[in-house]
A and B are shown apart, each in its own frame.
Chain A
């Protein structure tokens, strides 16, 4: 068995990300053609890799993890460093090892994967995009059938990691683009081309999709990643949406189930406005109650837990608009251990530790 698989031949061993991209590549979509190392924490791939890199013919590479269960948008924050960009050919081997080891215990625990399981790593030629971003084929808040395109200049990483201030378009199914927030990144025909790509991905894979894309100087729109969006309004659920039934871990508290869905993340207790800069995207925001100033942080949270309020509280209403699992009225929520990895089940109203052994 070879330790390196061409992307267009990627199968279940190669992780969801690579398998989906392989499928899109075979269907004729523009996907940077690369290779997958299904068991990157082993060593069986080291001698096979250099000839493949030579055949790909690129000066630099993007090295990303492709774990089996990382298709949830919020799961990307559970693991720390899982992507290394602009890697020269001579350093790809080290980058693969780095990504493989970073995608380790915490992450598997967060997603209820068996510890020590295979970590697949994807290596693709590095693009030099003029713009990049995400395109979602449903409105993320209202669920309406329309494609929302977010774009930033250059590489899309700041957007995907939640740090950028993107341009935003809505493209209806008639192909008409309307800019919601202009930042001088895309023209209407370019936004429409991105939306057409996302709609092609939806037709190929079935069901609403969240597509990471990049536009090069020649006008080609490349697909970097495609993930399913669960149907229904306000639904960009966290990684735990499908493991909601596996309630392992100690119960830390029970409150009111106020926003449906399950998500994992690290606890960040915010005692006031001055704590907001300490909050990181993908964390579980824990506070007494939310006021209007908290909405931008909520929009980046994995889940929200409040001490006061119920099903009708303002925090609950905002969380549901954001598609965020929410537990309200959890007594002494601010005593939850800061930094602990927890699973918030907004349908059951529980907060549990995530087992990491």
Chain B
């Protein structure tokens, strides 16, 4: 089954989403749902994916074996497309942009908890995140030039920021495609693509 060309996007969708049902995997992998359901059952039989404790009954997650297998497939893809240097370069320069996003999310959370030294104004937090969105646009363009599957993070991040103007739960909420969640996924994607772990 490792020859199935659609296995990589399915495993990768689970790697970056963490936990997802077949519909969410299909949307992330841009594959038909029925095909994804079959692939997931095959992958379960091969010990690559498993049902997740504490999540919904239809949710899947990778096993360690699935994570390792996914990394091997990603490495092949990376070599075939000659994309390793650009991903390496992006991850090496990711720190400042990552700090801008996680710092803004943290300041906002501490403000909501009443623990921020001076409370953060939501406008300032969103300004920092919008600045990060600019960096993300450039980063994503470089990545997607070699690896088209990186396209889409910027659009999702900007959508979350737009929604956050009316409802600040879109900054760091875990129950939605919030700015932090999209960013967390991108970070995981960069690490996974280079076969690195946190």
Contact = CB atoms under 8 A, between A and B. Distances in A.
B198 A293 contact: no
Contact of B53 (A276, A289, A291, A316): A276
| Most central of A234, A277, A291 by chain B CB within 10 Å | A291
B16 A292 contact: yes
Contacts of B188: 291-292
A93 interface: no
A313 B52 contact: no
A302 to B, nearest CB: 14
Interface string B43-83: 00000000011111101011110010000000000000000
Contact of B173 (A142, A165, A232, A235): A142
B152 interface: no
Interface stretch (B104-112, B124-132, B155-163): B104-112
A142 B169 CA distance: 6
A281 interface: yes
A295 B172 CA distance: 13
A65 B17 CA distance: 40
B64 A274 contact: yes
A316 B55 contact: no
Given A234-B113, A279-B53, A296-B54, A141 B19 contact: no
Contacts of B115: 260
Interface in B1-41: 14, 16-19
A314 B102 contact: yes
A313 B102 contact: yes
Contacts of A312: 99, 102-103, 106
Interface stretch (B85-93, B141-149, B179-187): B179-187
A307 to B, nearest CB: 10
Contacts of B184: 292, 314, 317-318
Interface in A291-343: 291-297, 299-300, 308, 311-314, 316-318, 320-322
Given A165-B57, A279-B53, A291-B188, A320 B18 contact: no
Contacts of A277: 53
Give the interface residue-count category, chain A.
35 or more
A272 B99 CA distance: 26
B114 interface: yes
Contacts of A162: 54
A154 interface: no
A127 B35 CA distance: 45
A74 interface: no
Contact of B112 (A143, A288, A300): A143
B121 interface: no
A273 B169 contact: no
Contact of B180 (A165, A296, A317): A317
A167 to B, nearest CB: 12
A141 B169 contact: yes
Contacts of B166: none
A234 B109 contact: yes
A132 to B, nearest CB: 19
B54 A272 contact: no
Contacts of B175: 141
A304 to B, nearest CB: 13
Contacts of B198: 288-291, 308
Contact of B109 (A274, A313, A321): A321
B62 A273 contact: yes
B188 to A, nearest CB: 6
Contacts of A281: 54
A201 B102 CA distance: 38
A233 interface: yes
Contacts of B169: 141-142
A299 B113 contact: no
Given A141-B169, A142-B169, 10 more contacts: A142-B112, A143-B112, A260-B115, A273-B62, A288-B198, A292-B185, A299-B174, A312-B103, A314-B102, A314-B180
20 contacts: A142-B169, A165-B56, A232-B113, A233-B113, A234-B113, A260-B115, A277-B53, A279-B53, A281-B54, A289-B198, A291-B188, A292-B184, A292-B185, A293-B18, A296-B52, A314-B102, A317-B102, A320-B109, A320-B113, A321-B174
Interface of A: 141-143, 162, 165, 232-235, 260, 272-274, 276-277, 279, 281, 288-297, 299-300, 308, 311-314, 316-318, 320-322
